[in-house]
Structure 1
Amino acid sequence: MSEIVHKYRVLIVASHPVQYATPLFRLMAKHPQLDIQVAYCSLQGVKAGFDAGFGVEVVWDIPLLDEYPWVEVENNSPKPQLGSFFGLINLGLWKLISKENFDAVIVYTGYSYFSFWIAAAATKLTGKKFLFSTDSSGIEPRNKKRWKTWLKIILLPPIFHIADIVMVASTLGKQIVMSLGIPEQRITMTPFVVDNDWWISQARKIDVHTVRKEWNIPESSTIVMFCAKLQPWKRPQDILRAFAKANVLGSYLVFAGEGALRSELELEAKTLGLAERVRFLGFVNQSQLPSVYSSADLFVFPSEYEPFGVVVNEAMLCGCPVVVSDQVGSRHDLVQHGKNGFVYPCGDIDALATIFKEILPDYELLQKMGTAATERMKSWSPEENIKAVVQALKNLIHN
């Protein structure tokens, strides 16, 4: 006699459609133990909108609303916007949660939105199980203001205690949440992932020769890649200065992304005498990113504040070894120093230059590390994420 499979009815509350999350929702919609409904507080990303980080208007060029059930909950904020506590005030969440027969509510909006608290209150008052996700891997805020750090130490424990389960994105995230007094049994690690199959399949289609020709870079050259917003906390200038210091023959540096630092970087590249060996691609939309990573030999992410850094996933899935600073959250779970990449002290230009000198002339080592990078991602996938979610629901509802 076959075992009866329990199906969990789950409401997922998300701030807006995100290219990393929607593949997960599609897989969840097909899972035999999940009956999901996604509630969006905003449709920014599907609809064109100004992205302050990139400094340009952005609308993602891949499907974000296909193959899973979703609704848009009206935003009642007088000034609707992402990144502001009162920018999302979705009062309809109360009715949706209190009237519908959900087993659990999973919130991805973050406690920094008013709508998070609407969802939390409605869930707790109606006796449903409450889970929320955090990608934090540290307490210190991006602006490094000490008073904010102390405030977090005071406020985060009671916030996290609201949840029946806190879903963390990394091992470092789990350590941080445990340090705030949350018992390990109330923490579930749901790996921060992308659509592995899509990235690998797209990477295999790339004609590297054509891409490098478009960039006006010789095919035999070695390319160092930065792909992110050109913002101060990402520290793109560190790559430029280390690249200049290393001065490896036949190497090029490519910046994919837009942001406030672009003009400064272009000027500094000229001042350093590197204008002919540095390329600025500007904003690159999602469908074109596999060609960016696949055509590079080494991806570098020097950020001083990065809770996880999902671009590391993307690069590794495209067979690109990675160099990350010791402030990038994914370093602990994904980067195996000397095997599929390197970790160096954030802001240490000399250390980064030394890595460039060591690895850029060694094509065989770059290839070997690139293969190891893709291999690592086999066990950091959407399947592991969803398996953890289902197990958390099972433990909450049946124990």
Structure 2
Amino acid sequence: MMRVLIVHNQLWAHYKSKLFSEIDRAIQQASASDELLVAQIALYEASRKGMQTGGTVRYEYPYRVLFDRALDEVNFSERRAALFRTFDEYRPDVLNITGYFDWAQVLLMFYARWKGVPVVISSESSSADHNRSSWKELVKKMIVNRANAFFCFGKTSADYLETLGVAKRAIKVRNAAVIDEQVIRERFDEAKNTSQAPVTRKFVYVGRLAPEKNLPTLLRAFAHAAKRPASDWELLLVGDGPERAALEKLAAELGIGDQVIFAGGFPWYEVPRWLAQSDVLVLPSQSEPWGLVVNEAMVCGMPVIVSKTCGCAPDLVRDGVNGFTFDYAHLAGLETHLRFFIQNLDRIIGMGTESLKLIAPFASRPVATQMAETYRALAAGRKGA
């Protein structure tokens, strides 16, 4: 019998719910006597409380919520005590922590290793995420090199771990950036089948209207590439945030106010209906640990234009194949890629088909199966030691 304990920050994380459900399925499929428990520290992050999705998320895996409130309201001492208590009660054969930024989880990792329990670290970080001081990097090296195995979102997070001294062979999963591809595709197809064909072509951005998203550059590039009457393309912005008023003003100043649609913010499960009205996704961010909206668009068979500083770019975008990458500070580069699709409508479907091929390795079921196999190998190694 194998027991796996996963520590995660918040219950209301819809794509993680899909992944945990698939991990549980894979564990049970291999051996009905094996068990999984996901210790959810809290219900949500305070800034995301309004994104609660009610019945749209299925929690089809064993979990325990340690604190029935916001993560931000749970202090270090509370987290540490609750995590240690859960560990001692559950007595896992493998521990999976989902970050080395939380000292409560780090201390639990050291405790597990002292108890002889192997540890997996799930990592989404990359070297481009934030400015990093040398002493912090030394601390991270000390932490990560106490783990036995690693699950990474993609190439950028795997490469970053290797700079911290992690051996390639210890990185067991390099494509953990998964979404609920079934729900996204079903809702996309439903919207396509029930709505009339759009009158105009559209580029679409989905995300917060915030400074780090680099949206003024997108507006300026779009104005140069698609200004009427030469083009009838539109730019659809799905999301809300502190920059909305400034962006609306900029669109008017650029003379494209009637071509830019500010749709407002919507929960994740409504995003597919906006993608169904669009042709090409654009993610121009200055900083983006991954960019799961790119997965969503590619699952729907769409081409993508993504800045090189988005963590997903090395894994998911092949220039000239399923879209393009660009330097977020290089307006002319983004303008060129926008103009490519305006002038080559016949390439959109084919490049969207290539997106479907490139996103396939990030399907939730095979990724979860890899994770379950890693847990089993670690548990067997522990019992055989």
The partner residue of 1:222 within 198, 201, 204 is 201
Contact 1:134 1:167 in 2 (8 A): yes
Q: Which residue of 1 aligns with 2:51?
A: 58
- The answer for the alignment partner of 1:326 in structure 2 is 308
- In structure 2, how many angstroms separate the alpha carbons of the residues matched to 1:88 and 1:293? 42
Helix, strand or coil: the match of 1:360?
Answer: helix
Q: Which of 106, 116, 125 is the matching residue for 1:117?
A: 106
Give secondary structure in 1 for the equivalent of 2:10: coil
Corresponding position of 1:3: none
Alignment gaps of 5+ in structure 1: 1-6, 213-218
Q: How does 1:131-280 map to 2 (within 5 A)?
A: 131-138=120-127, 141=130, 144=131, 148-191=132-175, 192-207=177-192, 210=195, 219-247=198-226, 249-280=231-262
Matched AA of 2:25: K
Distance 2:166 2:302 in 1: 36
1:21 aligns with 2:6: no
Q: Does 1:97 align with 2:97?
A: no
2-structure distance, mates of 1:207, 1:201? 10
Report matched runs for 1:341-356 at 5 Å.
341-356=323-338
CA shift digits 1:254-290 (9 cap, x unpaired): 1111111111101101111111111111111122111
Correspondence 1:36 to 2:36: yes
Tell me which residue corresponds to 1:126: 115
Task: Give the alignment of 1:250-399 within 5 angstroms.
Answer: 250-399=232-381
Q: SS of the counterpart of 1:91?
A: helix
Kept in 1, the 8 Å contact 2:285–2:307? The answer is yes
Amino acid at match of 2:244: R
Secondary structure in 2 aligned to 1:15?
A: strand
- In 2, distance between residues paired with 1:275 and 1:338? 30
Aligned residues: 371
- Output the amino acid matched with 1:14: H
Q: Secondary structure at the match of 1:20?
A: helix
C-alpha offsets along residues 225-281 of structure 1, whole Å, 9 cap, x if unaligned? Answer: 110111111112221110011125001011111111111101101111111111111
Deviations 1:90-109 (A, max 9, x none): 5221111123231111112x
Deviation at residue 149 of structure 1 after TM alignment? 3.5
Give the deviation of 1:378 after TM superposition: 2.1
Aligned residues: CA RMSD: 2.4
Q: Alpha carbons of 1:136 and 1:80: their partners in 2 closer, same or farther (altered >3 Å)?
A: closer
Say if 1:210 and 1:75 are closer, same or farther in 2 by CA, change over 3 A: closer
Q: Distance in 2 between matches of 1:292 and 1:211?
A: 13
Contact 1:75 1:91 survives alignment (8 Å): no
1:68 maps to which of 51, 61, 68: 61
Specify the alignment match of 2:2 in structure 1: 8
Amino acid of the structure 2 residue aligned with 1:91: A
Most deviating of 364-373 and 323-332: 364-373
> Residue 39 of structure 2 contacts residue 64 of structure 2 at CA under 8 Å; is this kept in 1?
yes
Task: Please tell me whether the aligned partners of residues 98 and 126 of structure 1 are also in contact (alpha carbons under 8 angstroms).
Answer: no
State the AA in 1 paired with 2:117: K
Report the AA paired with residue 106 of structure 1. N
Distance 1:63 1:115, change over 3 A: farther
For 1:319 and 1:85, locate their aligned partners in 2 and report how far apart those are by CA, in whole Å: 43
C-alpha distance in structure 1 between counterparts of 2:284 and 2:82, whole Å: 41
Native 8 Å contact 2:23 2:368 kept in 1: yes
Identity over the aligned pairs, expressed in percent?
23
CA positional deviation for 1:391: 2.9
Structure 2 distance, partners of 1:88, 1:310, is: 31
Q: Which has the higher helix share?
A: 2
Residue identity matched to 2:84: W
Question: Contact (CA 8 Å) 1:98, 1:122: kept in 2 or not?
Answer: no
Q: Tell me if the contact between 1:138 and 1:307 (Cα under 8 Å) persists in the aligned partners.
A: no
Whole-Å Cα distance in 2 between the matches of residues 305 and 203 of structure 1? Answer: 27
TM-score by length of 1: 0.86
Structure ranking higher on relative contact order (CA contacts 8 Å, 6+ apart)? 2
Amino acid at match of 2:113: K
SS at match of 2:15: coil
Normalising by structure 2, we get a TM-score of: 0.89
